[in-house]
Structure 1
Amino acid sequence: MRETQRETVQVSPLSDDLAFLDIVTEWDMVTVYQDWKTSIVVPPTFQPGSLPRVVAVCNQKGGAGKTVTTLELAMALVARGLRVRIIDADPQRASMSVWLRFFRPEGVAADGLKNLKDLFFDDDLSLQDITYATPYEGLHLVPSFPDLDDVESKQPPGTDTNLQFHLRKADDDIDVTLIDCGPKLGPLTVSALVAAHDVIIPVQAASGLDAVGAAALDATLATVRKRLNPDLRVAAVVLTDFSRSSLARKIGGSFARKYPDAAILPARTNVRIGDAQLAKEPLRLFEPTATTVLDYDCAAGVLFGRGRS
């Protein structure tokens, strides 16, 4: 692993007296709308993930909030003392590797930097070789560039199990690996699902199309479970860009019925996310008291517990 800690900063925990959402055991579709309260749903059957953990953040629809969800969960986890690796499995130019700064090893030119694509084509490369430190203590990134699309088009041998093989082989002390998947259910996303213990599904709370499109993801999950990863579970649905509305309530209710053992996690809307991306800062540092930040912090606690004691 490429460690460069001389410039890193520690991510601080949030204060307990901020306006966190309440936690309940079921999504409320009974209370009249005027009295309905937005809450985090943690079913009695939900179990936090044990460590170490590999989590795929996945939805086949673009603009669902996968990258925001991945980064803000990662920042909340490192604030709890966990060591986190983000794998950017999205070949788009506007991906995690553009938003999250990372340290390039000394003497390595930008065009010579090894990235996720190389892991699929170079048998001599290890996951540690392409895991780079970021400016935040405990947070590391496996970057990708647009040529990651070569994995989709050429599908080198072993693509489906590549990430699983390298994650199992990795000799490091990473507690949580978050895989930020691209907006299609191709070989890269399948490789992420095969490697993962859990899936987190970000869904736009204001988009009925996101709810309809979840059927395609369900089919892919069923295929992966049947053939390669029978223990894969949907751990959570994150309702991104959430604002209180009857549509958001219906969408939350539909996913609570679809995944009765999963946490349903509203992430309230924030107009500064775009500004944070341009500044190349996580929202948690750009606007630390934003309700979105609070929601992802609470989500991290629900999904992984308190972190290291």
Structure 2
Amino acid sequence: MRETQAQTVQVSALSDDLAFLDIVTEWDVDSAYHEWKAGIVVPPTFLAGSLPRVIAICNQKGGAGKTTTALELAMALVARGLRVRIIDADPQEASMTVWLRYFYPEARAEADRKNLMHLYFDQTVTLQQITYATPFEGLYLVPSFPDLEDVETKHPAGTDTALQYHLAKADDGIDVTIIDCGPGLGPLTVSALVASHDVIIPVQAASGLDVRGAAALNRTIGSVQGRLNTELRVAAVVLTDFEKSSLARQIGGKLAKAYPNAVILPARTSVRIGEAQLAQQPLRTFAPSATTVLDYDRGASLLLGNGTAA
């Protein structure tokens, strides 16, 4: 795993004088609506994660903001000097691999360009071999393509624990691995949950269906906790496309009650996200003052205790 381009771009920290949300200890459901102002909920019981860390971004519903959450959290952590790997565990074509540019080593023949699918089917492939540099210093990507769906349909031996095994075996100096899961609760998502310390659940702030769908995800998380990963926890719920409304307030309250030990992070909406995707740039570099960027930046510092690389 080496830098393959002549020079990578360093991701800058954000200015402290931007319009960050306040940090509170509980979700406000009692004040008059005209006085209500959403904040980032950090319960007194919440403990920031230690390094190295593996984080799964999960919600079986499509369009919940998983890929945006994965990329913007990764960029915020890289800006703090951490080395971050994103694993694209979504076989859809409109996934992280399409959004985030990456670079194959120049000396590697096209036939030797492996991706996440090979990790499940080829016992000789290592995680380092499928981890590629991106244009950003300290940020790496494990890409995937539609043939990753074969893991779901053929379920090769050891699927549940494959990522866990390879992450434990890797010795590549990565501080945080973020797994961007697909819209399903099949073998790939289970594999991600088995490998992770934390789960982050993106939920559309204006979708009651997302809240109802969380019950199925909770059953899957509970099953993994009971059988294969007793240390797994829900660390945060991200309210994506957040705008102030009575529905968003109600959804935030329900989720804060459902996950009393998790950070509740409103990620304010931005029309620039789609533009950033078309430009194949993270929102953080495409529109660094967008409120969405600010919210993910603050969320990253809370989840890992304002940690920076040693």
Structure 2 letter corresponding to 1:273: I
Aligned to 2:173: 173
Check if 1:188 corresponds to 2:188.
yes
Deviates more, 1:58-67 or 1:2-11: 2-11
1:233 corresponding residue in structure 2: 233
CA distance in 2, matches of 1:217, 1:118: 27
Give the letter for the 2:230 counterpart. Answer: P
- Does the aligned pair in 2 maintain the 1:74–1:139 contact within 8 Å? yes
- Partner-residue secondary structure (3-state), 1:63: coil
Q: Is there any run of 5+ residues in structure 2 with no aligned partner, and where?
A: none
Residue of structure 2 in register with 1:298 after alignment: 298
Q: Is the 8 A contact 1:2 1:129 kept in 2?
A: no
SS at match of 2:118: helix
Q: Distance in 2 between the 1:34 and 1:239 partners? A: 20
- Mapped contact 1:270–1:291 kept (Cα < 8 A): yes
2 CA distance for matches of 1:64 and 1:106? 36
Partner of 1:135: 135
| Structure 2 residue aligned with 1:58 | 58
For residue 2 of structure 1, report the CA deviation from its aligned partner.
Answer: 3.6
The TM-score, its normalising length taken from structure 1, stands at 0.98
Partner residue, 1:149: 149
Contact 2:203 2:211 (C-alpha < 8 Å) held by counterparts: yes
CA distance in 1, matches of 2:105, 2:148: 21
Aligned to 1:8: 8
Determine the structure 2 residue equivalent to 1:243: 243
Structure 1 position 50, deviation (Å): 0.3
Alpha-carbon RMSD across the aligned residues, in angstroms, is 1.0
SS in 2 for 1:77: helix
Alignment-derived partner of residue 94 in structure 2: 94
Decide whether the 8 Å contact of 2:270 with 2:290 is kept in 1.
yes
The alpha carbon displacement at 1:109 in A equals 5.4
TM-score by length of structure 2 reads: 0.98
What residue is the counterpart of 1:20 in the other structure? 20
State whether residues 87 and 177 of structure 2, in contact with CA within 8 Å, keep that contact through their aligned partners in structure 1. Answer: yes
1:170 maps to amino acid? A
- Following the alignment from structure 1 to structure 2, what is the Cα–Cα distance between the partners of residues 215 and 3? 42
Task: Give yes or no for the alignment of 1:273 onto 2:273.
Answer: yes
Mapped to 2, the partners of 1:124 and 1:285 lie a distance apart of 37
Displacement after TM superposition at 1:5 (Å): 5.3
> Residues 118 and 2 from structure 1, CA distance in 2 versus in 1: closer, same or farther, beyond 3 angstroms?
farther
Query: Runs (4+) of structure 1 moved beyond 3 Å?
Result: 107-112
SS of the residue corresponding to residue 260 of structure 1 reads coil
Q: For the structure 1 residues 230 and 62, does the alpha-carbon distance in structure 2 shift closer, same or farther, using more than 3 Å as the test? A: same
1:253-268 to 2 correspondence within 5 Å?
Answer: 253-268=253-268
Cα shift readout 1:145-182 (whole Å, capped 9, x = no counterpart) = 11000100100000000000000000111000000000
| Alpha-carbon distance in 1 for matches of 2:2, 2:234 | 31
Aligned pairs (5 A) from 1:117-136: 117-136=117-136
Runs of at least 5 residues in structure 1 that lack an aligned partner in the other structure? none
Q: In 1, distance between residues paired with 2:248 and 2:231?
A: 30
Tell me the amino acid that sits aligned with residue 51 of structure 1: L
Measured after TM superposition, the shift of residue 3 of structure 1 is 2.9
Identity rate of aligned residues, in percent? 73
The residue type paired with residue 88 of structure 2 is D
Alignment check: 8 A CA contact 1:240 1:269 kept: yes
Alignment size in residue pairs: 309
Partner in structure 2 of residue 36 of structure 1: 36
Q: In the alignment, which residue of structure 2 is the partner of 1:47?
A: 47
Secondary structure at 2:12's aligned position in 1?
Answer: coil
- Aligned counterparts of 1:47 and 1:110: Cα–Cα separation in 2: 44
* Worse-superposed segment, 251-260 or 105-114: 105-114
Q: Is the 8 A contact 2:4 2:106 kept in 1?
A: no
What SS does structure 1 have at the residue aligned with 2:248?
Answer: helix
1:111 Cα deviation (Å)?
Answer: 6.1
Q: Residues of 1 paired with 2:197 and 2:39: CA distance?
A: 26
Q: 1:219: which partner in 2? A: 219
Amino acid at match of 2:24: V
* Counterpart Cα distance in 2 of 1:43 and 1:7: 41
